[in-house]
């Protein structure tokens, strides 16, 4: 290869003169990938601002793809600023790292997403940040545990695995009354079942909103919708609070891959329809469980008798009969069945796969040892073996047949 043809095949391919015409418009916004971003001049490089989306400085600080996803997530959750992180768990840990320092205390509900508690027990403790666990179903317990060292309170509605629905507006009021940040893990509500920045719908009517300070969301679940992307978001409505978290996020070097951001952008337009479909099928299945003798207790917040049902009604079902819930519920299988029988039931399901997470097209089942997840026994739960179902997009009829066959084979009626 002589020198000039080599130059055509290397430099020529790298610095190619062709620029496609502008103005391309199509349903999907395209995928912009970059570590390096060019500046026309040194002066421009020195002037360009990375913090306010006025331009581009480095891939980690944002691309057209990530900016658009952030803006759409603000719309979804009713917030003003958004940060993207590589997982839902990273959203929870980034909030804590950004807002807490040595000597501070964090409060977590006992039914919080488990790894959030584990992070407080190990990493935060190593940094000299203490935590206490409060009973999400008792606002007075939260008030009692807020001290002058408390800076941040995590909220979750409903709680993980046991699905009890707290009085979220009241817990937020208790935080506000004591001047501590309230951060909601909003993965279940997903911006659809209720509005985290307008919990009582007052802002929608021109009033003052009752709002959490921070909404963290595992986009891994419904926004992805495919069981194939891990991502999280941190949405706020306060520019100063956002900037505090954003600067920590930048220093930690957190970012998301362009193709993953594109996958979530591709899924967002169908999210509300999928959420409704997951919800409708989950309620049909939960209704079936409710009348089975094998079911000691149904844990689905939209069902009368489930712990916190009235709080779900107040927050999500203000116009009765229209309320939404995620396609997720748990069942306490009667204590007369052994764990081995319950495990065999889970193994015997054919359409339901055994696996963590939720929000994708495939229905999932996981037996949980509830006692190992909680600091204190839950008085509102009857004894039994807990099984959590995450309902996919299969036909409800087929899922019911599957439940029936596994039940008959492994959990015989007395």
Where does this chain bind ligand PLP (CB under 6 A)?
87-89, 113, 160, 185, 187, 218, 220-221, 230, 232, 357
- DSSP assignment of 16-57, as one string? ------S----SS------S----SSHHHHHH--SSSSSS--
17-45 as b/e, with b when 16 or more CB fall inside 10 Å? eeeeeeeeeeeebebbeeeebeeeeeeee
Question: Minimum CB separation from ligand PLP for residue 260, in Å?
Answer: 11
Question: Minimum CB separation from ligand PLP for residue 160, in Å?
Answer: 6
Residue among 233 and 236 whose Cβ is closer to ligand PLP: 233
Q: What are phi and psi of 259, to 5 degrees?
A: -65, -35
Residue among 32 and 119 whose Cβ is closer to ligand PLP: 119
- Round to whole Å and give the CA distance between 239 and 241: 6
Q: Measured at CB, which residue is nearest to ligand PLP?
A: 88
Question: Minimum CB separation from ligand PLP for residue 167, in Å?
Answer: 18
H or E stretch at 264: helix 258-267
Residue among 219 and 349 whose Cβ is closer to ligand PLP: 219
Residue among 108 and 406 whose Cβ is closer to ligand PLP: 108
Residue among 89 and 241 whose Cβ is closer to ligand PLP: 89
The upper half-sphere exposure of residue 407, i.e. CA atoms within 13 Å in the direction of its Cβ, equals 17
222 closest CA partner among 65, 85, 392: 392
Question: Minimum CB separation from ligand PLP for residue 88, in Å?
Answer: 2
Question: Minimum CB separation from ligand PLP for residue 92, in Å?
Answer: 6
147 closest CA partner among 135, 132, 137: 132
Question: Minimum CB separation from ligand PLP for residue 188, in Å?
Answer: 6
Residue among 162 and 220 whose Cβ is closer to ligand PLP: 220
- Round to whole Å and give the CA distance between 294 and 306: 17
């Amino acid at each position: 290869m002589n020198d000039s043809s080599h130059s055509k095949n290397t430099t020529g391919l790298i610095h190619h003169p062709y620029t496609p015409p502008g103005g391309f418009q199509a349903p999907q916004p395209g995928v912009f990938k970059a570590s390096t971003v060019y500046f026309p001049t040194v002066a421009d490089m020195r002037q360009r601002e990375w913090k306010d989306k006025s331009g581009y400085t480095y891939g980690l600080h944002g691309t057209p793809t990530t900016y658009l996803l952030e803006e759409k997530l603000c719309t979804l959750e009713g917030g003003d600023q958004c940060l993207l992180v590589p997982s839902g768990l990273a959203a929870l840990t980034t909030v804590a790292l950004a807002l807490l320092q040595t000597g501070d205390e964090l409060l977590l509900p006992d039914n919080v997403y488990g790894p959030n508690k584990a992070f407080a027990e190990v990493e935060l403790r190593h940094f000299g940040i203490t935590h206490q666990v409060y009973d999400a179903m008792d606002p007075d317990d939260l008030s009692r545990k807020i001290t002058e060292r408390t800076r941040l309170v995590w909220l979750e509605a409903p709680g993980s695995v046991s699905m009890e629905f707290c009085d979220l507006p009241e817990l937020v009021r208790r935080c506000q009354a004591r001047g501590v940040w309230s951060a909601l893990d909003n993965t279940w509500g997903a911006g659809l079942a209720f509005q985290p920045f307008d919990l009582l719908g007052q802002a929608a009517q021109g009033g003052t909103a009752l709002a959490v300070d921070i909404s963290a969301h595992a986009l891994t679940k419904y926004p992805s919708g495919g069981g194939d992307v891990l991502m999280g978001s941190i949405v706020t409505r306060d520019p100063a609070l956002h900037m505090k978290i954003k600067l920590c996020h930048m220093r930690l070097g957190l970012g998301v891959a362009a193709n993953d951001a594109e996958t979530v952008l591709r899924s967002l337009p169908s999210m509300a329809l999928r959420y409704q479909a997951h919800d409708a099928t989950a309620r049909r299945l939960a209704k079936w469980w409710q009348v089975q003798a094998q079911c000691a207790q149904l844990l689905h917040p939209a069902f009368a008798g489930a712990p916190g049902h009235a709080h779900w009604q107040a927050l999500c079902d203000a116009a009765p009969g229209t309320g939404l819930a995620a396609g997720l519920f748990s069942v306490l299988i009667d204590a007369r069945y052994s764990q081995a029988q319950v495990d065999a039931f889970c193994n015997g399901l054919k359409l339901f796969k055994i696996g963590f997470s939720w929000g994708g097209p495939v229905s999932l089942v996981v037996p949980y040892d509830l006692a190992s997840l909680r600091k204190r026994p839950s008085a509102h739960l009857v004894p039994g073996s807990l099984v959590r179902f995450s309902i996919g997009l299969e036909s409800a009829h087929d899922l019911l047949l599957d439940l029936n066959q596994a039940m008959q084979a492994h959990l015989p009626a007395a």
